[in-house]
Amino acid sequence: MSSLSISDFERQFGERLSERDWRGAAEAAAACRAAWPGQPAGWLLGSIAALLSDNRAGALALMEEYLAKNPADVQCLVQKAECLLALGDSGGARAAAREAAAAAGETPAALDAIGQFLVSANAHPEALGLYHRAVAAAPRDPDLRAKRGIVFRYLGNLERAAEDFEAVLEITPLDPEALKELADLRLQTPDRNVLPFLARALAAAAPGSTEAVTAHFALAKTYEDLADYAASWRHLSAGNGLERQRLRYEGAEDRQIIDQLIEAFPGPEVQGTDTSGESPIFIVGLPRSGTTLVDQILGSHSTVHSCGELKAMSEALACVAETSARKKAGSWGEFVAQLATADAPSLAREYLARVRALRGDRPRFTDKQTTNFFYCAMLLRAFPRARIVHVTRHPLAACYAIYKTRFRGTFAFAYDLNELADFYIGYRRLMAHWESILPGQIFNVPYERLVAAQEPTTRALLEYVGLPFESACLEFHRNPAAITTASSVQVRQPLYESSVNQWQHFASELGPLRERLQAAGIAVD
């Protein structure tokens, strides 16, 4: 037996991962398997390393080898499900998850792990069933209650979600996350609000902590509902300021990327040969601009499956660019140069392999990853029959909607008004470039037009993507599909106009952002 313990090997593995040394991580896992062949740790670590290095078949083989002798190991069954999902076998992945659920008994931690996998696999109804079992086994566990509440919210059962977060607060009365969920789930009114609890939660939070950030954002939303706009902005500004301090972000890097993209794709683009036979619908734009709403409208059509926000295109681009150049890009500039010469049929194959398990069984599917706006030319090179829907919104409305949202580690540009303005300017510049080199191939859907003229705008949208009109697209809020974006509550309602001009309550506070946009030539009136 080795003198090293399993925890020693796990530490070595973690060190290699932190350095993105996949080969070193795999070697640490192999050493663990050799020293502790009857324990699952080395097999699991090896499978994880293989997945991270994109060796999906090798990752699955390790799990199958261990499970041949230990068929009821829940962790390994969940990892097997992860491998199968990565390979595009959604049926096999769910079967492995069901095996894990059967082996888990009523152990809350095991049920939670399976539930988390099912959420990642967009199998939300099945995940909900697992969380029902977990909560029944541990009714006083606030974490399990909160996770079930989130799944309820994804599935549109907002009242049951609220009940779960109220149960969390009975166990941990000043939990800022639960309070924020309640503030987001319901319109806060003078007679029914969480204001006093949030004030106490903020007072109890350590200065600058995650809990303080969460409380500030929740207070901003509550005060906005209560029409106390000065107090709302005070907390919004405080929450954004604290969150910005926690993030590394250099706006100059984003501006440089846009310059490099425009230089690498001077255009005009020439229509390529379709090698896939697929016509995905890419919905692009800024976060909180209405992309989830458009996705729900299209996903309500009988021939369209909504895949939500997929990472598949950025992952496929990185894989194909590295393969084409025979080396990993050392900078964004190198990556962009690789993109310009990347093989389009290879990109299409790689992308489809990554979405196979998530695209459903309908003829068409949507990919609503907003940041795909960086790659419009590559989207159409890979899929000449694709449709790109660009959702736009009034500049100040768009920026305010972003600024009032805590994105939890993503969109680092969102927490400072000057940085937000600069990112918006760059986004508009890049989209103008794509439209100039891809004439007629990007369909703009203004959020305000959709709200003011729902049916004609919906008909025009469906005509552009090549679909006949269906009335269900006007009843998008009845679509039972899970919604996991920040707009999951709003799009469960029919269209409403109040959000169109909500930013005007903060017109003076948004003044510096307005001036920065106007100086860049962007009309805001």
DSSP state letters, 27-78: HHHHHHHHH-TTSSHHHHHHHHHHHHTT-HHHHHHHHHHHHTT-TT-HHHHH
The order of strands in the sheet holding 387-392 is 304-306, 364-367, 281-285, 387-392, 442-446
The pLDDT of residue 380 is 96
The pLDDT of residue 494 is 87
Strands 281-285 and 387-392: what pairing?
parallel
pLDDT of 502 above 90: yes
182 with 165: CB under 8 angstroms? yes
Q: Rounded to a whole number, what is the distance in angstroms from the first to the last CA of the chain?
A: 74
The pLDDT of residue 360 is 87
Tokens describing residue 140:
């006083």
pLDDT digits (tens, 9 = 90+) for 116-130: 999 999 999 999 999
The pLDDT of residue 327 is 64
Alpha helices, DSSP H, located in 272-343: 291-299, 312-325, 332-341
The pLDDT of residue 233 is 98
Query: For residue 446, is it left (φ>0), alpha (ψ between -120 and 50) or beta?
Result: beta
Question: In DSSP terms, which residues pair with 446 in a beta bridge?
Answer: 392
Instruction: Give the list of residues 6+ apart from residue 77 with CB closer than 8 angstroms, or none.
Output: 67, 96, 97, 99, 100, 103
pLDDT digits (tens, 9 = 90+) for 26-39: 999 999 999 999 99
Domains of the chain and CATH, by start: 281-310+358-519 (3.40.50.300)
pLDDT of 1 above 60: no
Token pair 């199998």 in the structure block, residue: 123
For residue 326, name the pLDDT band (cuts at 50, 70, 90).
low
pLDDT digits (tens, 9 = 90+) for 418-464: 999 999 999 999 999 999 999 999 999 999 999 999 999 999 999 99
307 with 365: CB under 8 angstroms? yes
pLDDT digits (tens, 9 = 90+) for 51-86: 999 899 999 999 999 999 999 999 999 999 999 999
d(CA 217, CA 101): 37
The pLDDT of residue 325 is 58
The pLDDT of residue 498 is 79
DSSP category for residue 331: S
Taking residue 347's Cβ as centre, other Cβ atoms within 10 Å add up to 26
| DSSP three-state, residue 141 | coil
The pLDDT of residue 2 is 60
The pLDDT of residue 3 is 75
CA 93, 96, 97: angle at the middle one, nearest 5? 85
The pLDDT of residue 329 is 61
From 40-44, 57-61, 335-339, the region with the lowest mean pLDDT? 335-339
Can you tell me the mean pLDDT for 395-415?
93
DSSP category for residue 374: G
pLDDT of 523 above 90: yes
Question: For the whole model, what pTM was predicted?
Answer: 0.92
pLDDT digits (tens, 9 = 90+) for 283-315: 999 999 999 999 999 999 999 999 999 999 999
The pLDDT of residue 59 is 97
d(CA 317, CA 323): 10
185 with 162: CB under 8 angstroms? yes
Percent of the residues in the chain that have a pLDDT greater than 90, as a whole number: 85
Q: What is the mean pLDDT of the chain?
A: 94
d(CA 256, CA 333): 8
CA 514, 518, 519: angle at the middle one, nearest 5? 115
Taking residue 460's Cβ as centre, other Cβ atoms within 10 Å add up to 14
Q: How far from 249 is each of 216, 253, 383, CA to CA, in Å? A: 21, 8, 33
Instruction: Give the list of residues 6+ apart from residue 434 with CB closer than 8 angstroms, or none.
Output: 373, 376, 377, 442
The pLDDT of residue 23 is 93
